[in-house]
Structure 1
């Protein structure tokens, strides 16, 4: 189980690395954002917790038979997670970021649904991730709609 967890955690760390490479910076600071935007310090704290929980959930599912589709959805969501930061913060493509994060939300929802049929605890560990990405999707949408000049 430990080797599986560390493998899924390594995939999550690769996704997290994009946040280190592509920081929000002056471009993001200049965008019009809603009053409910989470504080900047919250992002690394929340993402660290979510990545650990998601990796543990995936390791639990990987221990079960007939988990192939569930793990395929997990792989899809971590790939989309890795893509969003360079698109949004790196390329400053707000609309393209919205498309990516909407696909990410769907992939996480499918992961959660697939995990339910394999391991309920694993599914419950994914639920906060889906909730956080729901907030992030709403934030991305709000920024896109309220920053017309920067909305590529």
Structure 2
């Protein structure tokens, strides 16, 4: 494995993860009506740590391969959108905008998985849990939007 390449991808993941610390769920989020299937807060950092490690490793495997331009473009797009979601949802308290970002994030993660699969089966398979988690996060975001439709404009 190209450790220097892995460190670069992991650095991008750490930047995305940092927004979770900078824009942590606060009182606004705690007061929102959430579906009963909302995971406990302690699960998020564990899940994201594992997903980021798998994603960085998958990207490292693919980045050094010929024909990886589209795969790396999708990976860059997904990490950028991933980084954007937390400040929009928790920082700006914009549930609807968060949902829109998640739609595009889901497309970018699917694009990453598909293009990774075309180049390296293991790398593509490592993206499957990410697709599942972003699908779940999208459903959760949409459920929160629906359950809080009568809230102030700022929170939707």
TM-score range, shorter chain: over 0.9
Question: Which residue in the other structure is 1:47 paired with?
Answer: 48
Would you say 1:63 and 2:64 are equivalent positions?
yes
1:29 & 1:36 partners in 2: Cα distance?
15
Query: What is the CA distance between 1:38 and its match in structure 2?
Result: 0.7
Question: Which residue in the other structure is 2:121 paired with?
Answer: 120
Unpaired runs of at least 5, structure 1: none
Query: What is the CA distance between 1:49 and its match in structure 2?
Result: 0.4
Question: Which residue in the other structure is 1:5 paired with?
Answer: 6
- TM-score (norm: length of structure 2): 0.96
Residue 66 of structure 1 aligns to a residue whose secondary structure is coil
- TM-score (norm: length of structure 1): 0.98
Question: Which residue in the other structure is 1:16 paired with?
Answer: 17
Question: Which residue in the other structure is 1:105 paired with?
Answer: 106
1:100 & 1:22 partners in 2: Cα distance?
16
2:6 & 2:121 partners in 1: Cα distance?
17
The structure 1 segments of at least 4 consecutive aligned residues displaced by more than 6 Å after TM superposition are: none
| Aligned positions, number | 152
Would you say 1:80 and 2:71 are equivalent positions?
no
For each residue in 1:43-96, what CA deviation from the matched residue of structure 2 results, as whole angstroms up to 9, or x when unmatched? Answer: 000000000000000000012111111001000000000000000000000000
Residue 36 of structure 2 aligns to a residue whose secondary structure is coil
Question: Which residue in the other structure is 2:137 paired with?
Answer: 136
Query: What is the CA distance between 1:15 and its match in structure 2?
Result: 0.4
Query: What is the CA distance between 1:16 and its match in structure 2?
Result: 0.4
Question: Which residue in the other structure is 2:148 paired with?
Answer: 147
2:82 & 2:22 partners in 1: Cα distance?
14
Unpaired runs of at least 5, structure 2: none
